[in-house]
Amino acid sequence: MNSAEVLRQLSTVSASLFLLTSFALLAQRHMRAFLIWFSFQGILLGSLSAMVAYSTDSYELYVSAILAFFLKGILIPFLLWKIVIRLGVNREVETQINLFSTMLIGAILVLFSYYVSLPIQKTIMDMTRNIIAIGLACVLISMLIMITRRKAVTQVVGYLTLENSLFFTATAATHGMPLVVEIGVAFDVLIAVLIFGVFFFQIRKTFDSLDLRHLENKP
């Protein structure tokens, strides 16, 4: 087996793992487990980048692997956990609709993504179609997470999962975007997290709760 073949298989494996983490996040009831899965997803992303970097000999990708590993695997989940503890919302994750239906919708989304990516010709690259389908599924599932959760923190994790899915698609399907873009995007995400942090405290101060239902009822 040559290294391209190994890489292909490894990418497919990590794609399925990535989809698994998305579903795990969708199904999670507890804040702690929710953030642990989120961190696991970041680490998975980092290792996939490192793997691709190793097999394609691209130093640029090592940079983004390290970025993904430290930012998404460790720093952001840790910061979120700190915020959650400080705000005292480390309890159960409330959902709008029950978990079973949520999972079912998630499964339908996966089917839908495969259907959407059917017309992509196989000729470009053997596995691109699969990866795009899974990437799209993860994007849609992240949106589902954002829609079905009530608390601001879980909505933010949904947003970050969305970002993760995009990074994943970029790394697996195209062996990473150019370095400028990767760093720029990572930088934007970091700023977004900081702003989210500011917002949590603002929302808490003004509404006495992080429940987003309060945001809808204007005075």
Binding residues vs other proteins (CB under 8 A): 116-117, 119-121, 124-125, 128, 132, 135-136, 139, 143, 146, 152, 155, 159, 162-163, 166, 169-170, 173-175, 177-178, 180-181, 184-185, 187-188, 191-192, 195-196, 198-199, 202-203, 206-207, 212, 215-216, 218-219
Choose between 5 and 208: whose C-beta lies nearer to other proteins: 208
- Tell the smallest beta-carbon distance from residue 135 to other proteins (Å): 7
What CA–CA distance (Å, rounded) separates 145 from 158? 5
- Tell the smallest beta-carbon distance from residue 215 to other proteins (Å): 4
Choose between 150 and 175: whose C-beta lies nearer to other proteins: 175
- Tell the smallest beta-carbon distance from residue 18 to other proteins (Å): 15
CA 28 to chain CA centroid, Å, is 14
- H runs (alpha helix) in 28-122: 31-56, 59-67, 76-87, 99-116
Choose between 57 and 100: whose C-beta lies nearer to other proteins: 57
What CA–CA distance (Å, rounded) separates 73 from 100? 28
Choose between 36 and 190: whose C-beta lies nearer to other proteins: 190
CA 206 to chain CA centroid, Å, is 29
Choose between 98 and 152: whose C-beta lies nearer to other proteins: 152
| CB-count burial class (<10 Å; 0-12, 13-18, 19+) for 49 | buried
What CA–CA distance (Å, rounded) separates 198 from 188? 15
- Tell the smallest beta-carbon distance from residue 144 to other proteins (Å): 12
- Tell the smallest beta-carbon distance from residue 7 to other proteins (Å): 14
Choose between 80 and 173: whose C-beta lies nearer to other proteins: 173
Question: 30 in helix, strand or coil?
Answer: strand
The Cβ of residue 8 has, within 10 Å, a number of other Cβ atoms equal to: 16
- Tell the smallest beta-carbon distance from residue 21 to other proteins (Å): 18
Tokens of 111: 């089917």
Which one, of 129, 196, 136, lies nearest residue 165 by Cα? 136
